[in-house]
């Protein structure tokens, strides 16, 4: 674990295609593959540069340690339901966990969502990620019914939070 404080963590807006962000997401997918025993455990639509509206990378001393993105949700008619957006690819490198990077990234995503006029953030995590479940609950997210492509997937656990 890094001995960084929240003031040492810098948030940078980056494009989804940013190489350092892409590397963080690859690390996340590798970790999740180990937890679930498969390279493709995501039941939902994988995020792309075309649908990620916001993507941030957290750095400490200029080195990327965490990331997260937001995707606006749409119903079948292409209208966003009640201003919802989905948190995608929240990840903190294992050697930087416990130092505030996750909270800093989540707060940055919430701030960007509010600036876009979105009123609620939702997310999907999985049963093999108890650390993520504890984190989101601690940050004020509550369990919601599985939504979208996550409906009917037994390993999917969805959360939501109304933003002020």
Q: Which two tokens stand for residue 35?
A: 């937890």
Long-range contacts of 71-79 (CB under 8 A, 24+ apart): 71/47, 72/116, 72/118, 73/122, 73/147, 73/148
Q: How far apart are CA 70 and CA 126, in angstroms?
A: 18
Domains of the chain as residue ranges with CATH: 6-121 (3.40.630.30)
What is the reported pLDDT for 113? 97
- The pTM of this model reads 0.91
pLDDT digits (tens, 9 = 90+) for 87-140: 999 999 999 999 999 999 999 999 999 999 999 999 999 999 999 999 999 999
Confidence grade of residue 7 (pLDDT, cut at 50, 70, 90) = low
Q: Where are the beta strands (DSSP E) in the chain?
A: 9-13, 54-60, 63-72, 84-92, 120-126, 142-144, 156-162
Q: Where are the beta strands (DSSP E) in 74-119?
A: 84-92
């Amino acid at each position: 674990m890094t001995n960084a404080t929240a003031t040492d963590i810098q948030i940078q807006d980056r494009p989804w295609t940013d190489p350092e962000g892409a590397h963080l997401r690859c690390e996340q997918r590798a970790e999740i593959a180990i937890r679930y025993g498969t390279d493709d455990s995501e039941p939902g639509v994988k995020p792309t540069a075309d649908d990620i509206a916001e993507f941030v990378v957290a750095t400490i001393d200029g080195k990327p340690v965490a990331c997260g993105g937001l995707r606006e949700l749409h119903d079948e008619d292409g209208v966003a339901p009640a201003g919802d957006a989905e948190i995608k690819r929240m990840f903190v490198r294992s050697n930087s966990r416990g130092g505030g990077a996750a909270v800093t990234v989540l707060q940055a995503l919430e701030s960007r969502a509010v600036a876009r006029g979105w009123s609620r953030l939702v997310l999907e995590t999985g049963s093999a990620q108890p650390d993520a479940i504890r984190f989101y609950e601690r940050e004020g997210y509550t369990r919601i019914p599985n939504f979208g492509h996550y409906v009917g997937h037994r390993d999917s656990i969805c959360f939501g939070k109304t933003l002020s």
